[in-house]
Structure 1
Amino acid sequence: MILKKNVGYLDSIIRVTLGALIVGAGLYFDSFWGFLGLIPVFSGAVSFCPVYRLLNIETTKPNIERAN
């Protein structure tokens, strides 16, 4: 899978929230800089961050397999 999840739940919520605030500020101030807010919104929505991948960072919970 190309877009393996590397952004955890809380990280996703923070990204979407902050991204939406940036987009809203861009619309309010009539600035094209609000488009930058779409980056964290998208990365939070799909739970994938290319920068995290480059830096080998994951904020997802580790998969713990149970022994049967």
Structure 2
Amino acid sequence: MTPINALSSGKVLGWRYRQTAANPRNAWSTSMLKMNVGFVDRVVRVIVGLALLSLFFIYPGAAWRYGLLVGLVPLLTGLFGTCPLYTLLGISTCPARSA
């Protein structure tokens, strides 16, 4: 199978692509970047992430403070609005869009 035929068949190295109205050809679907975190969830994540990161800077001499860097995870997922774990589990806290 030639590379052109592989692209038109919908599979390239196990990845699938979805044709969209904006770009009907070779529009790769990346479900990891779809927004799946709702507004309240995002606000809570940002607050928790900032709180944990602020503790990292408040206690500069503590050996356990590097564990607080885990606050980057909720902060970034809250800012970007997507959570990889939610994607793997099929969870979405975004409100359903009406068509």
The alignment's TM-score, normalised by the length of structure 1, stands at 0.88
Please list every run of 5 or more consecutive structure 2 residues that lacks an aligned counterpart in the other structure. 1-28
Cα distance in 1 for residues equivalent to 2:95 and 2:67: 33
Q: Which runs of 4+ in 1 moved over 3 A?
A: none
| Higher share of residues assigned helix | 1
| Contact in 2 for aligned 1:27/1:34 (Cα 8 Å) | no
Bigger Rg over Cα: 2
Q: Which has the higher contact order (CA 8 A, sep 6+)?
A: 1
SS in 2 for 1:18: helix
Give the total of aligned pairs. 65
2:72 maps to amino acid? L
> Does 2:45 align with 1:15?
yes
SS at match of 1:7: coil
Structure 2 CA distance for aligned equivalents of residues 29 and 48 of structure 1: 30
Structure 1 or 2: more strand by fraction? 2
Paired letter, 1:58:
S
User: Does structure 1 residue 4 correspond to structure 2 residue 38?
Assistant: no
Residues of 1 paired with 2:66 and 2:87: CA distance?
27
Identity %: 31
Compute the TM-score of the two structures, normalised by the length of structure 2: 0.62
Greater alpha carbon shift after TM alignment, 12-21 vs 24-33 = 24-33
2:74 is equivalent to residue 40 of structure 1: yes
Instruction: Confirm or deny: 8 A CA contact 1:19 1:41 kept in the other structure.
Output: yes
